[in-house]
Structure 1
Amino acid sequence: MSEYEAASGLRTNVDGRVLVMERTFHAPQSLLFQAYSDSKQLSDWWGPQGWETENRTFEFKPGGTWLYCMRCMDKAQGDFYGQESWGKATFNEIVEPEKIVYTDVFADEKGNAVEGMPKMEITIEFKEKEGNSKLVVISEFASEAQLKEVLGMGMIEGFNSQLDRLDEHLEKHQ
């Protein structure tokens, strides 16, 4: 088990094949949930700094799918500039404004899973905390090796950058 806390307040915990990431936002629970459940809002902040997200499909309901593409638009990111990263999520459970559970895979532009890439079962919890909201993201992988693979791809750093964008988004919408 390993733990880490970033200057931004992101706390992470790796235990076997499970990664837990937590961060508190100065926004009400309902607003935080809406940032995840509204396609327009999600595309405004999803992805690391310097990346833009296009939601090709977004069916926010159990059994619905979300097909998205993140594109690096920042020339300062060198080899990443112009790169695309497609993902497909299938929503399994939605409890407004408390929880979203979905399966996430690396995909191609048609939504087909990329062979050999990790699949994640993700549970997002939105917890009211004294006028603020605590976001808890639990990502479960099929194996410890798959978790180590995405950690090696910079998952925590990218997610922390993404949450900085979410924080800015929430500030604008309060």
Structure 2
Amino acid sequence: MHPALEITQTLHSSPDQVFDMFSTKEHLINWWGPKGMEMEIKTFDFRSDGIFHYVLKAGNGFEMWGKFTYLEIEKPHRIVLLNAFSNSEGETINAPEVPFGADWPLEMWTEYTFTSDGKGCRLKLTSYPHQASEASQELFFQNHGNMKQGFKGTFEKLEAYLLELGG
């Protein structure tokens, strides 16, 4: 078993406020996703067994649909979900082969934790392939660096959005 992907970021806001950025549709739309992509939210039902279904759009017409299925929510400290690619109807589908590869895991178990660290909120993401083949686990592990880079941009967008809000 490969180690989980772990990413930690300190944000200069309270854990309550950062949790709100993840749990409120009106905030999430302003920062979620890679830099340079716009997001539209199709469904946002923030509760255990609820679904967050969205599309990310690039300026060149490329679209990438995704969905979270929320498993556990402990306000304001923890969110656990299954993260997957989807189609426009919200059905779980394989990731686009480019750039992810044919063996990319169908679902990733993902946990976000929000703790006070004296300077603000320590946001920690932990993720690993859910019920995945050895090949999928290996591909996920080999791409930890790429995922860390991608989330770095997303979390930078979150930090900038929090500063805009004055928090």
TM-score scaled to structure 2, two decimals? 0.84
SS in structure 1 opposite 2:49?
A: coil
The answer on 1:83 being equivalent to 2:81 is: no
Greater percentage in strand: 1
Give, in whole Å, the separation in 2 of the partners of 1:107 and 1:52. 17
Structure 1: 5+ residue runs without aligned partners?
A: 1-14, 74-80
The answer on 1:164 being equivalent to 2:156 is: yes
Deviation (angstroms), 1:146: 3.9
Partner of 2:86: 107
Structure 2: 5+ residue runs without aligned partners?
A: 95-102
Deviation (angstroms), 1:113: 1.2
Shift in alpha-carbon separation, 1:58–1:110, aligned structure 2, 3 A? same
Give, in whole Å, the separation in 1 of the partners of 2:21 and 2:152. 16
How many residues align? The count is 152
The answer on 1:23 being equivalent to 2:9 is: yes
SS in structure 2 opposite 1:162?
A: helix
TM-score scaled to structure 1, two decimals? 0.81
Offset from partner CA, 1:137-158 (integer Å, 9 cap, x none): 0001134324146548x32221
The RMSD of aligned alpha carbons is 1.8
Shift in alpha-carbon separation, 1:112–1:92, aligned structure 2, 3 A? same
Offset from partner CA, 1:112-135 (integer Å, 9 cap, x none): 111464210000000111140000
Match of 1:35 among 18, 21, 37: 21
Point out 4+ residue stretches in structure 1 off by more than 6 angstroms: none
Does structure 2 retain, via aligned residues, the 8 Å contact 1:106–1:117?
no
